[in-house]
Structures are given as C-alpha cells and as structure tokens.
Structure 1
Amino acid sequence: MKYLFPKDFIWGSATAAYQVEGNNTGSDFWAEEQAEGSPYADKSGDAIDHYRLYREDIALMASLGLKAYRFSIEWARVEPAPGQYSRSAIEHYRDMLNACYEYGLMPVVAMHHFSSPQWLMRIGGWASPSVPERFSKYCEVVFQELGSLIPYVLTFNEINLPVMLRDVFMNNGLVPPVGIDSASWRAPQWRESAARLCGTTVDNYVTFHMISDEAKIALLKEAHIQAREAIKRVSPQTRVGLSMALSDVQSVPGGENIAEERWQLYFRKYLSMLEGDDFFGLQNYTREVYGQEGLVRPAPGAELTQMKYEYYPEALANVIRKVAKDLSIPILITEHGIGTDDDVRRVNFIRTALAGLHSCIRDGIAVTGYLHWTTFDNFEWNAGYSMTFGLIAVDRSTQERHPKESAHYLGRIAQTNTLE
C-alpha cells in the first residue's frame, strides 16, 4: 500500500552539536567527561569531526535525498565567556546554514541541546535567577546575525527530560535515551570533580539535566518565553517552538491511574510553556506500560534496542494522537530513531512508524514533518560510541562516512513524498 504525504512535508534527520562536532572544550559535558570517576564510557574528543566536515556532510545528506537538517548551535562556542561573543563561531554557523541552502536542505536549528557553557556553572547553572536573561540574550545575538537564515528554531531540546530522568531513576532504574544511568546520577564524587573543572563548587553545578524541581522548571519556562520573545522581535518570520521526549505511556488493568500521573508529569505540566509557540517538537523512541505495581517490564523475549528499551515503532502514532488532544499548533517530529546494529530493523522501524504517522495526518492531525534521529553514528553521551543510532556509519579512525540502507530508504521517501 502506498501512503502519499502532504506536498510540503518536511523530511530530514537530526544531530546535536556536542555529539558530532568534537572538541567542545568550553561545555559542561566536556568537564563531565574529564572528571575523576566519570561514568562516560568514552571521551568525545574529535567526535565525528562535523565542525570541520560539515560541508561534506551536508552534501552527503542532500545526495541521499534528504530535504531538511536539524542541528544545534553550541552556546559555549558562541559565548565562550559571559557577554563575549565569538565572531568565528557565528561565522561557522552562518556557513553551515548557507551550506544547507546551497545543497537544498531546510535548516531546523536548536539553540540548546543539553550542553551549556562551563561559565554558566560558576554562577549557579540552571538554578541561577539570571539564566533566563542570559539565555535569551544569547538567542538574540545569534538571531541578529543569522535569523534571516533560520526558518524553524527550537529554543530547547527535551525540556521535560530532567523530570523523566528523575522519575525513572527513582522508580524504575531504566536507562533513558540520553544514556545516563541511575548509579551515575546519584554518585556525588564525579560531579564534584566536574564542578571543579568548571571552576566552581558542586552547589553551583546545576546542569540542564538537573532541572527537575518546580523552582528550576519555572526558570526554564521563563528562559523559553524570553528567548521566544527575543527571537520574534529580531526575526518575526522564524517559527519558534521547543521539543519534549515522550514515550507512549500505556497501562494494563490496575495501572490506569499511574499511567495518567506519568502523562501529567511528562507532558501536561509543561503545556503552559507552549502558549505562544508556533509548533511543537515531538520526540519518541518507545513505550512505557504501567500496571498496579508500577512500570511493567517488557515481556521475556521482547525485542529490545541497544538502549535496553522495547522495540515498538507503533509508539510514534500513539503519542501524536495523545498530544494532539491538548495542542492547537502543528506537530513536527524532531527526533525518532533506534539504537541498533541491525539496519534491516531500522528500516522496518521507520516504515512502521511512518505508516502510523500517515494515519494521524489522514485523520486531520497537523503533523508537518519527520526528522530522524540521528544522521550519523555519533557520541551517545555516557554510553560513548557504543550506540549506533545513525543513518550513516562513521569510521572514526579515518572519519569516512558510510551510508546505510536506512539512509537511502528515508532519502527515497523524502524524494517521492511517498511511503510504500
């Protein structure tokens, strides 16, 4: 059966600066990697050298048939010290944007994808009352320079992830998509070391992943609102949104109330942040099933991904339908993917999920695009280079790129706007 998508549907893939650029030495995650007792399996180092090879990479994406590229700007590069902005970094991202247009890819930009400047930790990190003003000023400076080149922007990637992490670690002991395990989250020693490397104490060391209490969430909300206002003031044509990580929350008899509580915690409590946004970035990887005793583990023999959660591509359509009940703005799938070394399963994952997505569009839900996570096998946070989410493999000894069949498959869909 053929599924024809709307003619202006956005097809592409996504990366995060810290995971692909390499040598983001001014970022807080760099300190975490280098910290004594760090739980990171690898050090990012050169990563896949995308900061140098971005033009070749963008040309490769275009040659595969993709139509859009979502990437992030590294705040620590643009503002290496408070109030000091790097002309060379701004020009680098300008050329990335121009390269996208030269090769026919629509850019989708994230202003923050988990990593923050080390200097932010010295003033209290994401618990600092000044963080909304500082973040919005960074956004304003970038958009004064580059706004005319950015049609879509996410202020933040996965604003709800810190609460999900806290909930998972406290109740379930699962490994979340970003690859930070519960023992690492609770171990204080390496965070003290990371704080010292940032030039501060552990009391001030509040990374983005620690925004899980009401006071910090309120600051995050204000940062998003002020950033959106700054962006719109400078570049009113740019569509502004944010993204959330959302599992398909399900229940079995006896777990209905717990499932509803989780959905409230993961999604509905953040709805006020979206008021005034132009679109919603939805990110999905799997499902969570709750019973009377809490989370129900996947059945014995269930297919699991490298990240140890359930292979369940049907989750994407289910989550789209759930969020659509509370939204009046379009939905853009800003991440969806699978960690696996079996690319046949990745192709199946994409196909099954897109068939479900198409059914949502057919039923009148405004879904405007699909950006696959991720373009390349890359640095997967504390899991290092062991997880393979990419459409394109990378030989890190040579930095050679090797497109997988899944890359060609998604490229053909993008070119024909049709799923078969």
Structure 2
Amino acid sequence: MVSRRQFISYTSMALAASGPMLSAKAAPKAGQIRFPDNFIWGAASAGHQVEGNNLNADIWLLENVKPSIFHEPSGDAANSLELWEVDLDLAKNLGLNAYRFSIEWARVEPEPGRFSQAMLDHYKRIIEGCHQRGLLPLVTFNHFTSPIWFSAQGGWTNQEAPALFARYSAKVAEQMADAIGYAVTFNEPNILRLLRALNLPQGMWQGQRAMLAAAAKASNSDRFCCINAANFEDLDAMTAQLIEGHKLGTQAIKAANSKLPVGFSLAMFDDQAAGENSLRDAKRQELYGDWFKAAATSD
C-alpha cells in the first residue's frame, strides 16, 4: 500500500520527469490538443467517503444497522478530517489547479437549528488552504449525506426538506460564499432514478427497504429516507423536492454572493442512439429533463 507521503513523492517525480508537456501554456506539437489557459484541472472528494467517523450522518447509521446493503462501515475512511492539508498537497503536486470537496451538513448542523461554528471554521480553513496552494475551491453543499435527524423526518419526502436545506445553505454561504470559486448544491441527486432505469434486481430494492426500516427503528422515526438510499416508490416525489431544494439553496447562496456560480452535478449515462427507432432522446428526457429545466430557471 502506498502512503500519502509516498504518493506525493511519486507524483512530484513524475511531473518533474514529464517536463513542459504537462503545461497548458506549452506549445503543442502536431496532432496535440492544447487546452485553454483557464481550463480547470481538478480532483474531487466526498466528505463522508474520506473524512471518517461522520457519526451524525444518515449513511453512517445505514452502514451500521442490521441488515445493511453496505458491505462495511466507512469507519476512519481516509482520515481526511485531520489530513486535509495532505490531500491539498496531493492535488497541488499532481499539477492540478482546482479541488472540489463537500461540506458535511451533519457536522455543521448535528441537531436541528444548532450550528457548529467550529466545523464551519474547519471548512473555511480548507478553502483558505486551497487558495494558498493556487487551487480553485469548488464546494459541494450536499454530497449524498444528510444529518440523521433530517432523514429521520422523512428526508426528501418531507415537505419541509427544501426549506431546511436552504437554511443550512444560508448559514454556510454567509461565511464562505465570497471565497468559493463554484458552488454545487447537490452531487448526483438523480442517482437512484438512474439506478431504477437499469432494472436492478428486486433483491437490491428489498434489501434497501429492510435497511431503511432498521434505520427508522434505530432513530425512533416513522420514515427514514436518504438521497442515495430510498424506497422505489418515493423516487419521483423526491426528485420534485430536490429540485425545489436546489432552487431555494441557490437563492440562499446567491443572497450571500450574487456573482457566485451555483449549479449541481448529475449522474449520467453515455447514451448512444442505435438505429432509427432509438429511445435515447426519450430516455434522456425521462432521466434528466426535470433537472435540465431546473438548471435553466434557477441560476
């Protein structure tokens, strides 16, 4: 296994050996593509997947109930909560000029309406660390995970969900929006609808239903629902709620910085048309149409 320190060393040597060919400003040879000088080269991470010990997050609970469709708990993960500076050094030494990371809602608002200034300051330090290394910070406000209390209220099936997300977004934006390069409200909010289109085995949905029931029992709730773990019949209603959450979240973020670009990232197939009767365009409309419309009207 390669440690972070070794990886930094290896990538630094590789960059030194490759010389000017890695520079966007270097004169391209015949047949080569030259990228614009302002092209964004970046790496991305998701808080729950790298930080470790995200105890107040809904997915943490799902990982630890029985039964669970998760193979194993995330545990310490990559300990990026403490080693974030090393992660930024990795990105810098790879020759990148941007870093996308997420703010963990469950850390910032572990209880409804109670915000942790210590955690807000933590994420502000990451943003400042990006700037110190010449990395453009791209910040995701919600990368799949939400606080346990939020999902125990029904998550994105709850009619209050968009307003709750907007409240959290406003709290983060008022302290960070002026230092962010781009803001992302949601990462792949359409992921379950995409998986539904793949006709996954019913066992997957049945296992997920049992897991959500166990989480509801553990959290003393009537309905436990997450962005990337929900029951089949809730997906369409969740999409409408998430789109409204994006709109309200965008408004909250832009109230802090009207010039900040705000968007979302979608999970997408590489659709290819096959023959005159291809269903590609119809499938694209089914899977992405509502989100494309939201993108055109919210920002």
Calculate the TM-score normalised by the size of structure 1. 0.60
- Of 59-68 and 81-90, more deviation after overlay is shown by 59-68
Match of 2:113, SS state, is coil
Match of 1:208, SS state, is coil
**How far off is 1:260 after superposition?**
2.8
Specify the alignment match of 1:208 in structure 2. 227
Superimposed CA distance per residue, residues 154-191 of structure 1 (whole angstroms, 9 cap, x where no aligned partner): 101112212112222xx354xxxxxxxx6333223222
C-alpha separation in 2, matches of 1:49 and 1:40: 19
Superimposed CA distance per residue, residues 69-100 of structure 1 (whole angstroms, 9 cap, x where no aligned partner): 00011100000000000011101101010110
**How far off is 1:277 after superposition?**
5.0
Fraction of identical pairs, as percent: 35
Q: Which amino acid is 1:196 matched to?
A: K
Q: 1:42 to 1:213 in 2, by over 3 A?
A: closer
Superimposed CA distance per residue, residues 261-310 of structure 1 (whole angstroms, 9 cap, x where no aligned partner): 321112223222112455xxxxxxxxxxxxxxxxxxxxxxxxxxxxxxxx
Q: 2:269 aligns with which of 242, 247, 250?
A: 247
1:111 paired to 2:111: no
Specify the alignment match of 2:287 in structure 1. 266
Q: 1:192 aligns with which of 206, 213, 238?
A: 213
Q: 1:226 aligns with which of 225, 228, 248?
A: 248
C-alpha separation in 2, matches of 1:237 and 1:199: 42
C-alpha separation in 1, matches of 2:297 and 2:137: 22
C-alpha separation in 2, matches of 1:275 and 1:199: 40
C-alpha separation in 2, matches of 1:249 and 1:133: 34
Q: 1:72 aligns with which of 102, 116, 134?
A: 102
Q: 1:255 to 1:30 in 2, by over 3 A?
A: farther
C-alpha separation in 2, matches of 1:277 and 1:222: 9
Higher strand share: 1
Match of 2:42, SS state, is strand
1:147 paired to 2:177: yes
C-alpha separation in 2, matches of 1:58 and 1:22: 17
- Is the contact between residue 100 and residue 106 of structure 1 (CA under 8 Å) also seen in structure 2? yes
Match of 2:52, SS state, is coil
Specify the alignment match of 1:8 in structure 2. 38
Match of 1:261, SS state, is helix
- Is the contact between residue 139 and residue 184 of structure 2 (CA under 8 Å) also seen in structure 1? yes
Match of 2:110, SS state, is coil
Superposed, 1:154-165 pairs within 5 Å as 154-165=184-195
**How far off is 1:40 after superposition?**
1.5
C-alpha separation in 1, matches of 2:276 and 2:170: 49
Match of 2:41, SS state, is strand
Superposed, 1:1-400 pairs within 5 Å as 1-168=31-198, 171-173=199-201, 183-187=203-207, 188-201=209-222, 204-209=223-228, 210=230, 213-253=235-275, 256-257=278-279, 259-277=280-298
Query: Using CA pairs below 8 Å that are at least 6 residues apart, which structure has the higher relative contact order?
Result: 1
Match of 1:101, SS state, is helix
**How far off is 1:255 after superposition?**
5.7
**How far off is 1:221 after superposition?**
1.2
**How far off is 1:217 after superposition?**
1.8
Match of 2:111, SS state, is coil
Q: Which runs of 5+ in 1 are unaligned?
A: 174-181, 279-420
Q: Which amino acid is 1:250 matched to?
A: Q
Q: Which amino acid is 2:64 matched to?
A: Q
Specify the alignment match of 1:292 in structure 2. none
**How far off is 1:151 after superposition?**
1.7
Match of 2:187, SS state, is coil
